[in-house]
A and B are shown apart, each in its own frame.
Chain A
């Protein structure tokens, strides 16, 4: 066998081998009591945007596109989910202290405003996470309102 062929074959074997290392899936399968949608502060229109664009990394339920079963793509996504949930988890938002909820609303508004979120290293592969300018403004306004109503309550 020619060296080039041999290399390609080895690459292929390595590719097949890594398919057996599947990351844990982020699918609790349940609609949690602590989900932000249960708090009465999330209008349906905003909820839809969040579910569609943000929940894959910022909740306990990811909707996986088929190609995420292929490694190393799945690994990359698992890393995004792990980091995303550590930062902000909409499924557990209700369990945050009101102090942290206030901070998170500020963070949501700011990271959208400054284009930190949705993160570019994710949106290039995941079209559903891209936000239109209108959607961005909707989220920013909502986060600011929610924050103000929260601080009025306390």
Chain B
């Protein structure tokens, strides 16, 4: 009997606790959004690039890790890379950006973070991860266009078959084609469209 009472008490309390925790984490989330520009200390060791005076090297590296996981159908690896990339975006030091650059960066960031987060939350669902990877790649192309590739030579590749033959772009660090959309099924499908320095 006693154990039933205790059990009930715990159940009621934990239900309540869950509820208030939810609210707390929601508040934290909001706080994080507004604070991320000022709070986080950035430890970027690479010097600013000549291109736009802005380094997006860490973001690019994170994206390429994600891309490489997808080329081998490694859903778990892609998820881990997605989560890491989301954090990289979040911790990016925007204080070095001009007002105009910041606006552009934040526009891309808002979208890219969501995609990275989804890829992180969908381990085991490659198809879903790839849908978000396509949109993330579009963000990445725009980011590279705006801020350069931080001294690294990368390639804009095109896979004509993905998405019911509508095709999709991705960014690669190698000249050889390794397709992240079709993975092991068609690893070399695609063509290099542009070299980005």
Do the two chains bind?
A: yes
Q: How far is the CA of A21 from the CA of B23 in the complex (A)?
A: 14
Q: Flag if B22 contacts A14 (CB, 8 Å).
A: no
Question: What 1/0 flags go to B131-168 for Cβ under 8 Å of A?
Answer: 10001000100000000000000000000000000000
Contacting residue for B110 out of A75, A100, A110, A116, CB 8 A: A100
Interface size class of A (residues with CB under 8 A): 20 to 34
Q: Is A141 among interface residues, defined by CB-CB distance under 8 A?
A: no
Q: Flag if B19 contacts A99 (CB, 8 Å).
A: no
Asked, given contacts A14-B12, A100-B110, whether A23 binds B19 with beta carbons under 8 Å apart, the answer is yes
Question: What 1/0 flags go to A19-60 for Cβ under 8 Å of B?
Answer: 001010000000000000000000000000000000000000
CB within 8 Å of A: which B86-112 residues: 107-108, 110-111
CB within 8 Å of A: which B70-125 residues: 107-108, 110-111, 114-115
Chain B residues touching A, majority SS = helix
Tally of chain B residues near chain A (CB < 8 A): 23
Please, which residues of chain A bring their CB within 8 A of the CB of B110?
Answer: 97, 99-100
Q: How far is the CA of A119 from the CA of B108 in the complex (A)?
A: 28
Q: Is B47 among interface residues, defined by CB-CB distance under 8 A?
A: no
Residue of A nearest to B16 (CB): A21
Q: Flag if B15 contacts A75 (CB, 8 Å).
A: yes
Residue of A nearest to B115 (CB): A103
Q: Flag if A97 contacts B127 (CB, 8 Å).
A: no
- Selecting from A5-13, A62-70, A129-137, the interface stretch reads A5-13
Tell me how far the C-beta of A152 lies from the nearest C-beta in chain B, rounded to whole angstroms.
Answer: 15
Please, which residues of chain B bring their CB within 8 A of the CB of A102?
Answer: 135
Q: How far is the CA of A6 from the CA of B2 in the complex (A)?
A: 11
Q: Is B1 among interface residues, defined by CB-CB distance under 8 A?
A: yes
Q: Flag if B12 contacts A17 (CB, 8 Å).
A: yes
Q: Flag if B131 contacts A106 (CB, 8 Å).
A: yes
Residue of A nearest to B106 (CB): A97
Asked, given contacts A99-B111, A110-B131, whether A21 binds B4 with beta carbons under 8 Å apart, the answer is no
Q: Flag if A3 contacts B111 (CB, 8 Å).
A: no
Tell me how far the C-beta of B129 lies from the nearest C-beta in chain A, rounded to whole angstroms.
Answer: 12
Q: How far is the CA of A102 from the CA of B135 in the complex (A)?
A: 9
Q: How far is the CA of A11 from the CA of B107 in the complex (A)?
A: 51
Q: Flag if B16 contacts A14 (CB, 8 Å).
A: no
- Among A6, A14, A82, the most chain B Cβ lie within 10 Å of the Cβ of A14
Residue of B nearest to A24 (CB): B23
- Contact surface of A with B, Cβ cutoff 8 Å: 3, 6-7, 10-11, 14, 17-18, 21, 23, 72, 75, 79, 82, 97, 99-100, 102-103, 106-107, 110, 114, 116
Known: A10-B5, A100-B110. 5 other contacts (CB 8 A): A21-B19, A75-B19, A99-B107, A103-B115, A106-B135
The 3 tightest CB contacts between A and B, nearest first, are: A99-B111, A14-B8, A103-B135
